[in-house]
Amino acid sequence: MRFVISVIFFLVFFSCGDAYDPLDPTGNITIKWDVMSWTPDGYVAVVTMNNFQMYRHIMSPGWTLGWTWAKKEVLWSMVGAQTTEQGDCSKFKGNIPHCCKKNPTVVDLLPGVPYNQQFQNCCKGGVLASWGQDPASSVSAFQVSVGLAGTSNKTVKLPKNFTLLGPGPGYTCGPAKIVPPTNFLTTDRRRKTQALMTWNVTCTYSQFLARKHPSCCVSFSSFYNDTITSCPSCACGCENKNKCVKSDSKLLSVVGVNTPRKDNAPLLQCTHHMCPIRVHWHVKQNYKEYWRVKVAITNFNYRMNYTLWTLVVQHPNLNNVTQVFSFDYKPLVPYGSINDTGMFYGMKFYNDLLMEAGPFGNVQSEVLLQKDQNTFSFKQGWAFPRKVYFNGDECMLPSPDTYPFLPNSARRNIFGFSTVIYSMILVLIGFW
Ligand SMILES: *[C@@H]1O[C@H](CO)[C@@H](O)[C@H](O)[C@H]1NC(C)=O
Ligand SMILES: *[C@@H]1O[C@H](CO)[C@@H](O)[C@H](O)[C@H]1NC(C)=O
Ligand SMILES: *[C@@H]1O[C@H](CO)[C@@H](O)[C@H](O)[C@H]1NC(C)=O
Ligand SMILES: *[C@@H]1O[C@H](CO)[C@@H](O)[C@H](O)[C@H]1NC(C)=O
Ligand SMILES: *[C@@H]1O[C@H](CO)[C@@H](O)[C@H](O)[C@H]1NC(C)=O
Ligand SMILES: *[C@@H]1O[C@H](CO)[C@@H](O)[C@H](O)[C@H]1NC(C)=O
Ligand SMILES: *[C@@H]1O[C@H](CO)[C@@H](O)[C@H](O)[C@H]1NC(C)=O
Ligand SMILES: *[C@@H]1O[C@H](CO)[C@@H](O)[C@H](O)[C@H]1NC(C)=O
């Protein structure tokens, strides 16, 4: 039995290798170019980036978008974003383009830039909220004026090889595709205009491209057993074990120790799991018709504040969440009928910021769930989540045979038959 389970998990692991997230099967970031006008030597386009991922946002220092021009195009100017390098514009006299590189690299502007450099939905330092958490903040846009390009929808050549860092690796972008032109409503909503030409690029995320190890782990405890099942050892890789700092180290009082690095290199507290994030799920109380769970997220990175954090949990009883005490909660129903996944996130201005490691580096909440008498059980690890994601990355769970178990309950087959069926469904969907 255990062998079968291992094989299934192995298959699930590899079927997920191709940017497929079973809990958000249509999640993607779409980059849309709307050509708004033709110019003597090219066009002006509005580039809009929409994050359609339910629970994966782009954190500070934000996105970086790149592409390769199909011909000898140049960027005369940009509003609401900028390229990181100008490149060689030596053959231009008089008007010097904003960027002459064959493969420009674009970043967002920071909040507070002068009004004449702003564009609607720009200038957020490249931060994009997830669709599930805040659709209004899940969009970023800027305007480009392209020269030495085609000047009609027959002669324009679409840019190629789009790349997206969000802010690290993990995204893969498909080719640009011509789509029906976008319609725009005037502000009084009485007139409709349309883009002269529109193309879309879709980028999807794969955790396996992003990093070698998970970036979070899960630990468990329960009221019915004193055992605390801690995170697996080296869950997030132990290569940097010699660079971690002990929580009582004098180093931590040095000024500037918390300052984030340009490359975002973490400074981790020494733990046996070496994860920047730990999620703890405690089965706290049992009532006649309800049960109560306490969820705590702890930050072990001294150099990172997590803004707009999200926690996704898959558990069969999430179809009956009665109350979530100090997080916001939203059910995610990726397959329409299976309501077993939900997203927790911080309440605005209360705990939407998960502070750097230390005394304030944690957020917690309690969840009250109504029992479905047919399926509810404390046996065989049923009360623990099947999958946990922090900020869109899947966290490593303890091995099923270490879950706290009910005194006198059989130890074998803790993961249960339904999980096997579930895994098979995922494998089938993954291959399909
Ligand atoms: C991208 O996401 C949107 C919204 O979920 C979805 O409608 C669309 O089909 C997705 N596109 C692709 C190519 O998966
Ligand atoms: C193109 O992208 C926009 C979002 O920017 C989306 O609303 C639209 O449905 C996409 N079109 C196609 C055909 O995928
Ligand atoms: C280009 O424009 C013509 C009309 O000006 C239109 O009929 C055609 O569908 C457009 N082609 C594309 C690819 O947008
Ligand atoms: C785009 O990328 C592909 C594969 O990475 C490469 O073969 C091709 O030369 C690139 N095209 C351009 C125009 O850079
Ligand atoms: C986290 O936020 C607090 C309060 O805003 C700030 O004092 C601290 O320097 C920040 N830490 C990091 C690592 O950015
Ligand atoms: C999913 O469960 C939540 C309660 O956790 C409920 O509010 C929501 O209506 C359910 N959605 C569907 C589609 O069943
Ligand atoms: C919640 O549980 C109750 C009791 O088992 C059940 O009647 C109800 O249908 C459940 N709600 C959902 C959304 O499944
Ligand atoms: C609590 O669970 C652990 C396994 O996770 C088990 O070894 C231990 O015997 C359990 N305690 C009791 C009192 O059953």
* Domain match, 336 and 365 both: yes
pTM: 0.86
Determine the 3-state secondary structure of 117 from DSSP.
Answer: helix
3 CA distance to ligand 8 centroid (A)?
23
Q: Would you say residue 110 lies in a domain?
A: yes
Ligand 8 pocket mutation pick from 221, 230, 405 by most atoms within 8 angstroms of CB: 405
Above 60 in pLDDT, residue 413? Answer: no
Mean confidence (pLDDT) of the chain: 90
Confidence of residue 264 (pLDDT cuts 50, 70, 90): confident
Between 249 and 296, whose confidence is greater? 296
Structure tokens at 75: 């960027």
Q: Would you say residue 258 lies in a domain?
A: no
Spatial distance between the Cα atoms of 192 and 161, rounded to a whole number of angstroms? 32
pLDDT mean over 157-185? 96
Segment 124-153, tens digit of pLDDT: 999 999 999 999 999 999 999 999 999 999
* Domain match, 268 and 203 both: no
* Domain match, 152 and 224 both: no
* Domain match, 40 and 149 both: yes
Closest CA to ligand 5's atom 4:
355
Between 299 and 22, whose confidence is greater? 299
* Domain match, 163 and 42 both: yes
**Residue pointed to by tokens 């609607």:** 120
* Domain match, 185 and 323 both: no
The tally of CA atoms less than 13 A away on the side-chain side of residue 102 is 4
Those residues with Cβ within 8 angstroms of residue 9's Cβ, 6 or more apart along the chain or in another chain: 423
pLDDT mean over 71-82? 97
pLDDT mean over 301-309? 94
Q: Would you say residue 356 lies in a domain?
A: yes
6-10, 16-20, 59-63, 172-176: which is most confident:
172-176
Q: Give the residue numbers spanning the domain of 188.
A: 29-208
208 CA distance to ligand 4 centroid (A)?
22
Confidence of residue 409 (pLDDT cuts 50, 70, 90): low
CATH code of the domain covering residue 91? 2.60.40.290
Segment 309-320, tens digit of pLDDT: 999 999 999 999
154 CA distance to ligand 5 centroid (A)?
51
* Domain match, 234 and 359 both: yes
Q: Would you say residue 197 lies in a domain?
A: yes
Structural domain tally of the chain? Answer: 2
Strands 216-222 and 197-205: unpaired
E strand or H helix that includes residue 228: strand 225-229
User: What pLDDT is attached to residue 18?
Assistant: 53
- Tell me if 178 CB under 6 Å of ligand 3: yes
* Domain match, 123 and 181 both: yes
Q: Would you say residue 6 lies in a domain?
A: no
Closest CA to 180 of 292, 34, 317: 34
Above 90 in pLDDT, residue 161? Answer: yes
User: What pLDDT is attached to residue 171?
Assistant: 97
* Domain match, 109 and 182 both: yes
- Looking from the CA of residue 372, the nearest atom of ligand 7 is 5
* Domain match, 191 and 218 both: no
Structure tokens at 207: 């955790």
Cβ–Cβ under 8 Å, residues 57 and 81: no
Spatial distance between the Cα atoms of 362 and 372, rounded to a whole number of angstroms? 31
**Residue pointed to by tokens 């010097």:** 96
Q: Would you say residue 13 lies in a domain?
A: no
User: What pLDDT is attached to residue 19?
Assistant: 65
154 CA distance to ligand 3 centroid (A)?
8
Q: Kindly compute the dihedral angle of the four CA atoms of residues 125, 130, 134, 140, in this order, to the nearest 10 degrees.
A: 40
Region of poorest pLDDT, from 18-32, 109-123, 388-402: 18-32
Determine the 3-state secondary structure of 380 from DSSP.
Answer: helix
18 CA distance to ligand 4 centroid (A)?
20
Q: Would you say residue 256 lies in a domain?
A: no
pLDDT mean over 331-352? 92
